[in-house]
Amino acid sequence: MTDDELKSLLEPMVIDFWEDAEYVAKSFTGERKDSAGRRICYSNGKRVPCSTLDKKPSKKDGKPKKSDVSSDASGRANEILSASNGKKLTAAQVRELSKHVNNMTLAQLGEFQKKFNLSAKGRLKQDRIDSLLESVKSRKPESKPKKSGKKPAESKPESATKPETTATATESDTSNNQGGKKAIDYKQNNPDHPVAKQIREDTENAAIVQKFLDSVSEQVDALNNAKTISDIEARLPSMFIAYSKLKKGKKRDEMKKQYDTMREMVKSHYSATRDYVKQVEEARIELVKQIGGVAKINAPSVMSKLSGDKSLSDEQKKGLSQTHDFINGVSNFESPPDVKICTDYDSKRSCYISHTKTVNIGNMTGSEMTDENKSSYVHEMGHYIEFTKPGVKDKAREFLAYRVGNEEFSSIGQATGITSMVDEMGRKDDFDRAFNPIFAYYIGKQYWDATEIVSMGIQKMWSDPVGFATKDPEYFQFMVSVLRS
């Protein structure tokens, strides 16, 4: 064998040797091909038969069972709350807890709720999870008893002890509990703030809010069912298609029966809520009755920008009178000053002019006073109350500062897509619980000497009192307190 022949034989072997050493040193897992094109397989740097790498994982080794996932989630959720020892969870802990709670079964959620004495409401699983997490976030840290050399005092009878006020109004909170009924859940994100505590401890106005909700309980139930009905309604088309494709038989009959039942639920819901305008009017009457306002704000003159150009129609006068009666019915003024009403036909937006105490309703053309005109008048009267009623402006500022916290200002126009409001800055907070996103940002609008708290609040009391009281009871009760003060 010549030298060249020997070299050509040994060279591939040498190359393979050094390549093999390199893969071993790297603890390589996978395969490569040698100089002859053969497969060489490794596992953590060791050569192994390639058949071991080709082996597909069995179903047992694959995706974990649902029961395993939920059990693990339940265990981790219990560990997080147990380890907190009653202390408030950090934002990171809340996020981790949320991840595990979403993987738990309804039965596990029930056990978890009982074990840690949490509140969880709602018919749908997701509603219960959201409510449970809110309850976790608003837990009050457990206070440890101070050690003392003195003998423990004799326990007083239960009737003589004063119930403690918890950090938020949950099922176990009796600070605003009227007549043994469940307390109002204010959904407070910062329960230790002085404004939050003041609202929780305001039992007088909490009782008024609760009486109002009790008086419109049917509307409250319909509102609470709305999300469930909406979810059912969304499923109906796919259910119809599904059972229509089935052959005649037991399975098809069962699915059609389920479809018909759900369809009837939707129909009955909309039948009960069809006369919405009438229900809102009834709710306003109940609200005025519960608040019992005695203000007699006088509106002596109705002006037009073009003096004498156009007199108000009977329909417009009736609408103004209706809204004005509502303002007086929910307000308390010892000696309210007069307010002027201006109908500026050239103004696109209504406004309040503080130095002349003038409410400008804006463009009110035609012979009717539209719902928008009425709502605008109530809104601007809210500014009038904030400016003229002693102490209200300061309270409104304090409430706004408490709700928005450290939230940065955003362009209302950019956040909502309304180009005409690009230069107006606002903060949304959780005002979108009861208001649409545009109004939510507008409530937190930036002013140097005013807020939109009272004006937007009283406008919502006029347009949707039940939804306001149900979805944001804290804001609603604040409005009741400043109007009654």
Is position 19 within any domain? no
Domain boundary among 102, 137, 172: 137
DSSP 31: E
Residue 165 lies in a domain: no
- What integer pLDDT is reported at residue 154 of this predicted model? 46
Task: Name residues whose C-beta falls within 8 Å of residue 53's C-beta, 6 or more positions apart in sequence.
Answer: 30, 31, 41, 43
Number of domains in the chain: 4
Angstrom distances, CA of residue 385 to CA of 173, 295, 323, 450, 480: 33, 11, 14, 11, 13
Do 89 and 45 share a domain, yes or no? no
- Residue 253 confidence (pLDDT): 87
Residue 346, pLDDT score: 67
**Are 295 and 269 within one domain?**
no
- Would you state the pLDDT for residue 106? 73
**Which distant-in-sequence residues (6+ apart) come within 8 Å of 485 by Cβ?**
332, 389, 391, 392
Q: For residue 253, which amino acid is it?
A: D
Domain boundary among 274, 303, 319: 274
Asked whether residue 196 is domain-assigned, the answer is no
Are 328 and 259 contained in the same domain? no
Nearest to 286 by CA among 461, 126, 37: 461
Cβ–Cβ < 8 Å for 136, 118: yes
Sign of CA dihedral 152, 158, 160, 165: positive
- Other beta carbons within 10 Å of 181: 12
Which tokens hold the place of 325?
Answer: 């009666």
Q: For residue 252, what pLDDT is reported?
A: 86
Is position 198 within any domain?
Answer: no
Q: What is the dihedral of CA 183, 186, 189, 191, to 10 degrees?
A: -60
Please give the Cα distance from 309 to 341 (Å, whole number): 15
Cα-only R_g, the chain:
33
Q: Based on the domain organization, do 317 and 459 belong to the same domain?
A: yes
Q: Would you say 440 and 396 are in contact if contact means Cβ atoms under 8 Å apart?
A: no
Residue 402: partners with Cβ closer than 8 Å, 6 or more residues away: 190, 193, 194, 195, 196
Please indicate, yes or no, if residue 406 is contained in any of the structural domains.
yes
CB atoms within 10 A of CB 68: 10
Cα pseudo-dihedral 366, 369, 373, 375, rounded to 10: -170
133 and 236 assigned to the same domain: no
Same domain, 299 and 400: yes
Residue 338 to residue 467: CA distance in whole angstroms:
32
pLDDT in the model for residue 172: 36
The residue type at 328: N
Do 455 and 380 meet the contact criterion of CB atoms below 8 Å apart?
yes
* Helix (H), strand (E) at residue 23: helix 3-25
* Domain co-membership, 386 together with 420: yes
Note the Cα 130 to chain centre separation in Å.
9
For residue 471, give the amino acid letter: K
**Separation CA 160–CA 474 (nearest Å):** 30
Structure tokens at 453: 């708290």
Q: First-to-last CA distance in the chain?
A: 113
At residue 45, the pLDDT reads 67
* Nearest-angstrom CA–CA distance, 384 and 379: 9
Domain span holding position 34: 24-55
Note whether residue 3 is domain-resident. no
CB 337 within 8 A of CB 299: no
For 425-479, write each residue's pLDDT tens digit: 999 999 998 898 889 999 999 888 899 999 999 999 998 899 899 999 999 999 9
Rounded to 5°, the CA angle 94-96-98 comes to: 65
pLDDT for res 166: 38
On whether both 70 and 113 belong to a single domain, the answer is yes
Amino acid at 392: V
CB 308 within 8 A of CB 324: no
Kindly report the pTM of this predicted structure: 0.58
In a domain, 432, yes or no: yes
The reply to whether 366 falls in a domain is yes
The position carrying tokens 């002027």 is 340
Residues 331 and 479 in one domain: yes
Distance CA 421, CA 441 (A): 11
434 and 464 within one domain? yes
Shared domain check, 416 and 318:
yes
Tokens (6 digits) for 59: 């179903």
Pairing of strands 39-43, 30-33: antiparallel
The pLDDT of residue 308 is 47
Residues in Cβ contact with 238 at an 8 Å cutoff, skipping those fewer than 6 apart = none
Residue in the block written with tokens 């639920």: 265
313 & 380 share domain: yes
Which parts of the chain have pLDDT scores under 70? 1-28, 35-36, 45, 52-71, 91, 122-125, 139-182, 226-230, 269-276, 300-311, 345-348, 365-366
Nearest to 304 by CA among 351, 347, 344: 344
